Amino acid sequence: MSTVNDHATSHPVPYSTGDSKITETTIAEMRELAARYPVGRSALLPMLHLVQSVEGRVTPEGIEACADVLGLTGAEVSAVATFYTMYKRRPVGEYHVGVCTNTLCAVMGGDLIFERLKRHLDVGNDETTEDGKITLEHIECNAACDYAPVMTVNWEFFDDMTPESATQLVDDLREGTEVKSPRGATICSWREAERVLAGFPDGRADEGPTGGKASLAGLRLARERNWTAPNGNGGAPAPLDPVPGPRPEDQPGRESQAVHTDDSRKED
Protein backbone atom coordinates (compact mmCIF):
# COMPACT_ATOMS: atom_id res chain seq x y z
CA MET A 1 0.00 0.00 0.00
CA SER A 2 1.38 3.40 -0.89
CA THR A 3 1.91 6.02 1.76
CA VAL A 4 1.86 9.79 1.67
CA ASN A 5 5.61 9.41 1.70
CA ASP A 6 5.52 7.78 -1.71
CA HIS A 7 3.89 10.91 -3.06
CA ALA A 8 6.54 12.92 -1.25
CA THR A 9 9.14 11.56 -3.69
CA SER A 10 7.73 13.70 -6.48
CA HIS A 11 6.23 16.42 -4.24
CA PRO A 12 8.44 16.70 -1.16
CA VAL A 13 6.55 17.64 1.99
CA PRO A 14 8.38 20.42 3.83
CA TYR A 15 9.89 19.32 7.18
CA SER A 16 9.11 15.67 6.44
CA THR A 17 11.17 13.10 8.30
CA GLY A 18 10.39 10.65 5.51
CA ASP A 19 8.82 8.00 7.71
CA SER A 20 5.13 8.80 7.49
CA LYS A 21 2.74 5.91 8.16
CA ILE A 22 -0.23 7.58 6.53
CA THR A 23 -1.66 5.22 3.94
CA GLU A 24 -4.55 5.16 1.52
CA THR A 25 -6.59 3.60 4.34
CA THR A 26 -5.90 6.66 6.48
CA ILE A 27 -6.93 8.95 3.63
CA ALA A 28 -10.13 6.92 3.14
CA GLU A 29 -10.89 7.24 6.87
CA MET A 30 -10.28 10.98 6.65
CA ARG A 31 -12.81 11.19 3.82
CA GLU A 32 -15.23 9.13 5.92
CA LEU A 33 -14.86 11.63 8.79
CA ALA A 34 -15.34 14.61 6.46
CA ALA A 35 -18.53 13.04 5.08
CA ARG A 36 -20.04 12.95 8.59
CA TYR A 37 -20.39 16.75 8.65
CA PRO A 38 -22.54 19.10 6.54
CA VAL A 39 -19.35 21.10 5.94
CA GLY A 40 -16.33 18.84 5.52
CA ARG A 41 -13.83 21.15 7.21
CA SER A 42 -15.72 20.62 10.50
CA ALA A 43 -13.97 17.23 10.55
CA LEU A 44 -10.53 18.76 10.89
CA LEU A 45 -10.24 18.21 14.66
CA PRO A 46 -11.12 14.50 14.52
CA MET A 47 -8.90 14.12 11.46
CA LEU A 48 -5.95 15.49 13.41
CA HIS A 49 -6.65 12.95 16.16
CA LEU A 50 -6.62 10.28 13.46
CA VAL A 51 -3.24 11.55 12.26
CA GLN A 52 -1.94 11.25 15.82
CA SER A 53 -3.26 7.70 16.11
CA VAL A 54 -1.32 6.72 13.00
CA GLU A 55 1.80 8.85 13.33
CA GLY A 56 2.14 9.30 17.09
CA ARG A 57 2.04 13.07 16.54
CA VAL A 58 0.86 15.61 13.98
CA THR A 59 3.36 15.26 11.18
CA PRO A 60 3.89 17.47 8.10
CA GLU A 61 2.46 14.61 6.02
CA GLY A 62 -0.59 14.46 8.28
CA ILE A 63 -1.13 18.18 7.85
CA GLU A 64 -0.82 17.89 4.06
CA ALA A 65 -3.21 14.94 3.97
CA CYS A 66 -5.85 16.82 6.01
CA ALA A 67 -5.41 19.87 3.78
CA ASP A 68 -5.77 17.79 0.58
CA VAL A 69 -8.92 16.03 1.78
CA LEU A 70 -10.58 19.23 3.01
CA GLY A 71 -9.41 21.62 0.31
CA LEU A 72 -7.55 23.76 2.84
CA THR A 73 -4.01 25.06 2.80
CA GLY A 74 -1.31 23.45 4.91
CA ALA A 75 -1.01 26.78 6.75
CA GLU A 76 -4.70 26.66 7.70
CA VAL A 77 -4.42 23.12 9.07
CA SER A 78 -1.19 24.02 10.83
CA ALA A 79 -2.85 27.00 12.49
CA VAL A 80 -5.43 24.68 14.04
CA ALA A 81 -2.93 21.96 14.99
CA THR A 82 -0.71 24.43 16.81
CA PHE A 83 -3.57 26.17 18.63
CA TYR A 84 -4.94 23.23 20.65
CA THR A 85 -2.72 21.60 23.22
CA MET A 86 -4.12 18.10 22.56
CA TYR A 87 -2.31 18.12 19.22
CA LYS A 88 1.33 17.23 19.58
CA ARG A 89 4.10 18.17 17.19
CA ARG A 90 6.65 15.97 18.95
CA PRO A 91 6.27 12.20 19.33
CA VAL A 92 4.18 11.14 22.32
CA GLY A 93 5.09 8.06 24.34
CA GLU A 94 2.98 4.94 24.71
CA TYR A 95 1.00 6.73 27.44
CA HIS A 96 0.27 10.41 27.88
CA VAL A 97 0.24 11.26 31.58
CA GLY A 98 -1.25 14.58 32.67
CA VAL A 99 -1.04 16.18 36.08
CA CYS A 100 -3.50 18.98 36.80
CA THR A 101 -1.60 21.91 38.25
CA ASN A 102 -4.45 24.39 38.00
CA THR A 103 -5.37 26.27 41.17
CA LEU A 104 -7.40 23.76 43.19
CA CYS A 105 -5.39 20.70 42.20
CA ALA A 106 -2.16 22.64 42.74
CA VAL A 107 -2.97 23.54 46.33
CA MET A 108 -4.32 20.04 47.01
CA GLY A 109 -1.00 18.50 45.96
CA GLY A 110 -0.88 18.68 42.14
CA ASP A 111 2.32 20.75 42.14
CA LEU A 112 3.96 18.27 44.48
CA ILE A 113 2.89 15.33 42.33
CA PHE A 114 4.18 16.97 39.17
CA GLU A 115 7.57 17.69 40.77
CA ARG A 116 7.76 14.13 42.11
CA LEU A 117 6.96 12.62 38.70
CA LYS A 118 9.48 14.80 36.89
CA ARG A 119 12.19 13.50 39.23
CA HIS A 120 10.91 9.92 39.20
CA LEU A 121 10.70 9.76 35.39
CA ASP A 122 13.69 12.02 34.81
CA VAL A 123 11.81 14.21 32.33
CA GLY A 124 10.62 17.80 32.15
CA ASN A 125 7.23 19.08 31.12
CA ASP A 126 6.04 17.72 27.78
CA GLU A 127 8.95 15.29 27.57
CA THR A 128 9.01 11.54 27.05
CA THR A 129 10.90 8.98 29.11
CA GLU A 130 13.90 7.35 27.50
CA ASP A 131 12.06 4.04 27.14
CA GLY A 132 9.35 5.85 25.13
CA LYS A 133 6.64 4.77 27.57
CA ILE A 134 5.49 7.98 29.27
CA THR A 135 5.03 11.55 28.10
CA LEU A 136 4.49 13.80 31.11
CA GLU A 137 2.59 17.07 30.84
CA HIS A 138 1.11 19.48 33.31
CA ILE A 139 -2.46 20.18 32.32
CA GLU A 140 -5.02 22.83 33.09
CA CYS A 141 -8.29 22.33 34.97
CA ASN A 142 -10.05 19.23 33.68
CA ALA A 143 -13.37 20.09 35.35
CA ALA A 144 -12.75 17.36 37.91
CA CYS A 145 -11.93 19.64 40.84
CA ASP A 146 -14.15 17.58 43.17
CA TYR A 147 -11.47 14.88 42.93
CA ALA A 148 -8.44 17.16 43.30
CA PRO A 149 -5.67 16.56 42.76
CA VAL A 150 -6.43 14.71 39.54
CA MET A 151 -4.24 13.10 36.93
CA THR A 152 -5.09 11.75 33.51
CA VAL A 153 -3.72 8.91 31.46
CA ASN A 154 -4.65 9.34 27.82
CA TRP A 155 -7.35 11.71 29.16
CA GLU A 156 -8.93 9.11 31.47
CA PHE A 157 -9.22 10.40 35.04
CA PHE A 158 -7.32 9.29 38.13
CA ASP A 159 -8.75 10.88 41.25
CA ASP A 160 -7.53 12.06 44.65
CA MET A 161 -3.93 11.36 43.76
CA THR A 162 -0.89 11.54 46.02
CA PRO A 163 2.81 11.56 45.09
CA GLU A 164 2.91 7.88 46.09
CA SER A 165 -0.14 6.78 44.07
CA ALA A 166 1.15 8.84 41.13
CA THR A 167 4.53 7.12 41.07
CA GLN A 168 2.81 3.74 41.45
CA LEU A 169 0.58 4.60 38.48
CA VAL A 170 3.43 5.45 36.13
CA ASP A 171 5.43 2.41 37.33
CA ASP A 172 2.44 0.16 36.54
CA LEU A 173 2.10 1.70 33.09
CA ARG A 174 5.79 1.24 32.35
CA GLU A 175 5.71 -2.37 33.51
CA GLY A 176 2.66 -3.18 31.42
CA THR A 177 0.41 -3.91 34.41
CA GLU A 178 -3.28 -3.52 33.58
CA VAL A 179 -4.48 -0.12 34.79
CA LYS A 180 -8.13 0.94 35.10
CA SER A 181 -9.41 4.47 35.46
CA PRO A 182 -11.66 4.82 38.53
CA ARG A 183 -14.21 6.61 36.34
CA GLY A 184 -13.49 5.21 32.91
CA ALA A 185 -12.12 2.42 30.80
CA THR A 186 -9.08 0.17 31.12
CA ILE A 187 -6.11 2.16 29.90
CA CYS A 188 -5.07 1.48 26.32
CA SER A 189 -2.21 3.11 24.44
CA TRP A 190 -2.29 6.81 23.62
CA ARG A 191 -2.53 6.01 19.91
CA GLU A 192 -5.52 3.74 20.48
CA ALA A 193 -7.17 6.47 22.55
CA GLU A 194 -6.49 8.97 19.77
CA ARG A 195 -8.32 6.75 17.31
CA VAL A 196 -11.36 6.78 19.59
CA LEU A 197 -11.13 10.58 19.84
CA ALA A 198 -11.03 10.67 16.06
CA GLY A 199 -14.46 9.06 16.04
CA PHE A 200 -13.74 5.37 15.61
CA PRO A 201 -15.13 3.80 18.82
CA ASP A 202 -13.44 0.78 20.34
CA GLY A 203 -16.65 -0.38 22.03
CA ARG A 204 -15.40 0.36 25.53
CA ALA A 205 -17.06 3.73 26.12
CA ASP A 206 -19.28 2.28 28.85
CA GLU A 207 -16.52 0.47 30.72
CA GLY A 208 -16.23 1.56 34.33
CA PRO A 209 -18.52 3.79 36.37
CA THR A 210 -19.87 6.86 34.60
CA GLY A 211 -19.99 9.13 37.65
CA GLY A 212 -18.00 9.21 40.87
CA LYS A 213 -19.14 9.63 44.45
CA ALA A 214 -18.12 13.28 44.81
CA SER A 215 -19.90 14.37 41.63
CA LEU A 216 -23.08 12.57 42.67
CA ALA A 217 -23.07 13.71 46.33
CA GLY A 218 -25.53 16.55 45.67
CA LEU A 219 -27.93 14.23 43.90
CA ARG A 220 -27.78 11.71 46.77
CA LEU A 221 -28.47 14.42 49.37
CA ALA A 222 -31.36 15.80 47.32
CA ARG A 223 -32.95 12.35 47.08
CA GLU A 224 -32.47 11.63 50.78
CA ARG A 225 -34.09 14.94 51.77
CA ASN A 226 -36.70 14.98 49.04
CA TRP A 227 -35.39 18.21 47.57
CA THR A 228 -36.41 19.27 44.10
CA ALA A 229 -35.22 22.09 41.93
CA PRO A 230 -37.31 25.28 42.34
CA ASN A 231 -39.63 25.54 39.37
CA GLY A 232 -39.64 29.37 39.31
CA ASN A 233 -42.54 30.56 37.21
CA GLY A 234 -43.87 27.15 36.34
CA GLY A 235 -41.06 25.99 34.15
CA ALA A 236 -41.27 28.83 31.62
CA PRO A 237 -38.06 30.75 31.01
CA ALA A 238 -37.65 33.67 33.43
CA PRO A 239 -38.26 37.07 31.84
CA LEU A 240 -35.13 38.83 30.76
CA ASP A 241 -33.84 41.57 33.06
CA PRO A 242 -34.44 44.99 31.57
CA VAL A 243 -31.42 46.27 29.70
CA PRO A 244 -29.73 49.04 31.76
CA GLY A 245 -29.83 52.55 30.29
CA PRO A 246 -32.58 54.47 28.54
CA ARG A 247 -35.47 52.42 27.21
CA PRO A 248 -35.75 52.43 23.41
CA GLU A 249 -39.16 54.11 23.60
CA ASP A 250 -37.69 56.95 25.72
CA GLN A 251 -35.22 57.84 23.01
CA PRO A 252 -36.22 60.60 20.59
CA GLY A 253 -37.73 59.24 17.40
CA ARG A 254 -37.90 55.64 18.74
CA GLU A 255 -41.51 55.62 19.93
CA SER A 256 -42.71 53.43 17.10
CA GLN A 257 -39.83 50.96 17.61
CA ALA A 258 -40.39 50.34 21.33
CA VAL A 259 -39.30 46.88 22.45
CA HIS A 260 -41.00 45.33 25.46
CA THR A 261 -39.36 42.53 27.35
CA ASP A 262 -42.10 41.80 29.89
CA ASP A 263 -45.64 42.71 30.89
CA SER A 264 -44.69 45.36 33.49
CA ARG A 265 -42.79 47.23 30.79
CA LYS A 266 -45.95 47.35 28.66
CA GLU A 267 -47.81 49.07 31.48
CA ASP A 268 -45.18 51.83 31.99
- Binding ligand FES by CB under 6 A: which of 67, 145, 197, 214? 145
Minimum distance between the CB of residue 212 and ligand FES, rounded to whole angstroms?
13
Residue 21 CA to residue 160 CA, distance in Å, equals 38
Tell me if 214 contacts ligand FES by CB under 6 A: no
Strand partners, 152: 98, 157
Q: Are the CB atoms for 174 and 131 separated by under 8 Å?
A: yes
Q: Which is nearer to ligand FES, 150 or 188 (CB)?
A: 150
Closer to ligand FES at the Cβ: 155 or 200?
155
Please state, in angstroms and rounded to a whole number, the distance separating the CA atoms of residues 40 and 170. 39
Q: Which is nearer to ligand FES, 104 or 258 (CB)?
A: 104
Q: Which is nearer to ligand FES, 59 or 101 (by Cβ)?
A: 101
What's the first-to-final CA gap in the chain, in angstroms?
A: 76
Site string for ligand FES, 31-60 (x = CB under 6 A): ------------------------------
Site for ligand FES in 87-116 (CB under 6 A): 100, 102-105
Options 26-34, 129-137, 144-152, 211-219: segment touching ligand FES (CB under 6 A): 144-152
- What gap in Å lies between CA 162 and CA 151, rounded to an integer? 10
One residue of 8, 141, 197, 216 binding ligand FES per CB under 6 A: 141
The CB-of-154 to ligand FES minimum distance in angstroms stands at 16
8-state DSSP, 146: G
Per the CB < 8 A criterion, the answer to whether 167 and 151 are in contact is: no
- Binding ligand FES (rule: CB under 6 A), the pick from 148, 153, 166, 185 is 148
| Distances, alpha carbon 263 to alpha carbons 39, 108, 240, 260, 268, in Å | 42, 50, 11, 8, 9
Which residue in 33, 110, 104, 105 sits closest to 69, CA to CA? Answer: 33
Return the HEC string of 29-90.
Answer: HHHHHHHCCCCHHHHHHHHHHHHHHHHCCCCHHHHHHHHHHHCCCHHHHHHHHCCCCCCCCC
Give min distance, CB of 95 to ligand FES, in A.
19
Please tell me whether residue 144 binds ligand FES under the rule CB under 6 A: yes
Q: Which residues ranging from 163 to 182 are in contact with ligand FES (CB under 6 A)?
A: none
Among 15-23, 89-97, 141-149, 188-196, the segment contacting ligand FES (CB under 6 A): 141-149
Q: In what order do the strands lie in the sheet with 156-158?
A: 127-128, 134-139, 95-100, 151-153, 156-158
Shorter beta-carbon distance to ligand FES: residue 158 or 190: 158
State the minimum distance, in angstroms, from the CB of residue 164 to ligand FES.
19
Which DSSP string do the residues of 229-260 spell out, in sequence order?
---TTTTSPPPPPPPSSS-GGGSTT-GGG---
Applying CB under 6 A, the span of 55-63, 123-131, 140-148, 185-193 interacting with ligand FES comes to 140-148
Binding site for ligand FES (CB under 6 A): 100, 102-105, 141-142, 144-145, 148, 150
